[in-house]
């Protein structure tokens, strides 16, 4: 007869068995998933329209409306059309061009990216790793930074993540169906932003690793490539005869832009051609030291394991990073978001594997995830504290006082984007004799370019009254802070 377990060993086995049954409970699984999804919806959609338009949002909004409503494909040919189609269709169907409406597709894409990560992680590492991947994405500061903005990057991130998942499904069994769907997803990512094509090498590599050299790999790879090309070209079909010139112009513009560079500040130093490590700097600045170390450790462990899945995710992040760091001279802050989904998925998978290998490694897995839990609490808190931006608040005040349709003198900014029926000017002489209904001043109006506005108000001060005062808000990584600049709204007196 075998030796009986001691009471302590029996207790450990009983505890382990109970924990396993609890983890396998359908009720618990469903409850946790629903809770994470509700949190995802909250961080993506809460007070979506209260923030001011951010860089490029108005450009893509107007271009999309011109494409879909007017059939005019001239605006913003610098980038592919797909994301702008989506924004334009949203405006046409809703009958609104307000920020809260235009951003709905972007916020939806951010939420769907999390669901794709959940499905991917669940398939390769189990249900709870899938929940961890979804949670990591949901509470990532990426959501607050640009996951709620109507920009091209959001759609690139979603479609490229979907392509990586479908590419893995193709590699698992060599299905032509998944090869085709994967190619379509790569094409949609590329049709959102050209960076999308950079995920194709990783997909072909995982096909090689999983399927092996042979006819199935060759034909499957051809299906992926042809589906990618066909999808990109189809997105230009509405432009018809203008499509060839639009595509040619896009490549010419990107080449010239690459040669010209773009002014960026890194650690207080201005660069026209930022150094190759710029994206690493922005990523470190974005996540902080501890979370960046967690990602670095996950990458190191993946390199040591050298399994197909880990190599796949590594290459999916590495190729865009290398191209955008060493070949593309124009480096902008949001670009590093393109390779964050495979990195976050890699972290979830590595942590999940460690958690299954004993108490010590389980504790190490918790330590890897802890910095992201902290970032997540900061992100959720920042979302809950979102207040109307300065331009949104001023626009609403002008609407409430009946001064939202006349000529308004302001000192730049996005105010005009919130007042479609008003004529917003930066210089008094641009009014060309029309009566100015309101003047917007801030405490930095001592700048030379604001001198004319300041002088105009001083000369006609008796005709205006101060009706609204607020403070400028500066958006940080986790929410907003007030600056010392006071914003003053002067409206013309009824008898002025």
Mean pLDDT of the chain: 90
Q: Say what percent of the chain tops pLDDT 90.
A: 69
In contact, 170 and 224? CB cutoff 8 Å: yes
408 pLDDT higher than 60 = yes
174's tokens: 């060599």
Q: How far is the C-alpha of 161 from the C-alpha of 372, rounded, in Å?
A: 20
Q: Which residues pair with 487 in a beta bridge?
A: 442, 470
**Torsion sign (Cα): 171, 175, 180, 185:** negative
- For residues 51-66, one letter each, b for 16 or more C-beta atoms within 10 angstroms of the residue's C-beta and e for the rest, the string is bbbbebbbbbbbbbbb
Summarised one tens digit per residue, pLDDT across range 189-247 is 999 999 999 999 999 999 999 999 999 999 999 999 999 999 999 999 999 999 999 99
Summarised one tens digit per residue, pLDDT across range 11-46 is 555 555 555 666 678 899 999 999 999 999 999 999
Q: What is the DSSP string of 370-425?
A: HHHHHHHHHHHHHHHT----HHHHHHHHHHHTT-SSSEEE--SSSHHHH-TTSEEE
Work out the pLDDT band at 480, boundaries 50, 70, 90. very low
Helix H or strand E encompassing 484: strand 479-492
Q: What ranges do the domains of the chain cover?
A: 21-384, 390-492
- Residue identified by tokens 């109006």 is 445
User: CA distances (Å), 250 to each of 81, 153, 194, 236, 242, in order?
Assistant: 11, 17, 10, 12, 12
Summarised one tens digit per residue, pLDDT across range 413-468 is 788 888 888 889 888 888 888 889 999 987 665 566 677 888 888 888 889 999 99
| DSSP type of residue 449 | G
């Amino acid at each position: 007869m075998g030796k009986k377990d001691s009471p302590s060993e029996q207790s450990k086995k009983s505890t382990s068995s109970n924990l396993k049954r609890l983890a396998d409970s359908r009720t618990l699984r469903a409850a946790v998933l629903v809770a994470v999804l509700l949190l995802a919806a909250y961080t993506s959609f809460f007070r979506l329209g209260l923030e001011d338009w951010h860089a490029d949002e108005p450009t893509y909004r107007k271009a999309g409306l011109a494409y879909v409503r007017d059939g005019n494909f001239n605006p913003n040919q610098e980038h592919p059309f797909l994301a702008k189609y989506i924004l334009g269709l949203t405006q046409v169907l809703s009958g609104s061009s307000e920020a809260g409406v235009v951003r709905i597709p972007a916020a939806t894409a951010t939420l769907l990216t999390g669901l794709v990560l959940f499905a991917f992680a669940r398939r390769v590492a189990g249900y709870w790793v899938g929940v961890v991947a979804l949670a990591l994405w949901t509470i990532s500061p990426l959501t607050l930074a640009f996951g709620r903005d109507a920009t091209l990057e959001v759609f690139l991130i979603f479609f490229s993540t979907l392509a990586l998942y479908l590419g893995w499904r193709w590699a698992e069994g060599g299905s032509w169906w998944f090869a085709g769907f994967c190619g379509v997803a790569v094409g949609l990512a590329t049709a959102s932003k050209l960076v999308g094509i950079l995920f194709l090498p990783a997909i072909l590599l995982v096909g090689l690793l999983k399927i092996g050299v042979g006819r199935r790999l060759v034909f499957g790879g051809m299906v992926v490539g042809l589906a990618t090309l066909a999808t990109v070209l189809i997105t230009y079909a509405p432009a018809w005869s203008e499509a060839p010139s639009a595509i040619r112009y896009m490549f010419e513009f990107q080449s010239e832009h690459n040669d010209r560079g773009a002014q960026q500040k890194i650690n207080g130093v201005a660069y026209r051609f930022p150094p190759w490590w710029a994206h690493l700097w922005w990523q470190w600045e974005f996540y902080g030291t501890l979370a960046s170390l967690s990602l670095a450790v996950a990458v190191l462990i993946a390199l040591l394991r050298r399994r197909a899945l880990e190599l796949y995710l590594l290459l999916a992040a590495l190729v865009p990073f290398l191209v955008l760091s060493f070949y593309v001279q124009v480096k902008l802050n949001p670009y590093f978001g393109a390779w964050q989904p495979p990195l976050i998925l890699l972290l979830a998978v590595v942590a999940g594997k460690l958690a299954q290998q004993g108490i010590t490694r389980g504790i190490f897995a918790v330590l890897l995830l802890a910095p992201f839990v902290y970032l997540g609490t900061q992100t959720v808190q920042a979302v809950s504290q979102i207040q109307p931006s300065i331009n949104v608040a001023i626009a609403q005040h002008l609407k409430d006082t009946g001064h939202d349709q006349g000529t308004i003198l302001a000192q730049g900014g996005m105010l005009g984007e919130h007042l479609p029926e008003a004529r917003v000017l930066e210089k008094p002489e641009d009014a060309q004799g029309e009566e100015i209904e309101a003047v917007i001043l801030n405490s930095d109006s001592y700048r030379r370019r604001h001198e004319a506005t300041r002088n105009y108000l001083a000369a006609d001060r008796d005709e205006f009254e101060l009706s609204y005062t607020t403070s400028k808000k500066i958006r940080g990584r986790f929410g907003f802070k007030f600056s010392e600049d006071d914003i003053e709204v002067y409206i013309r007196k009824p008898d002025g």
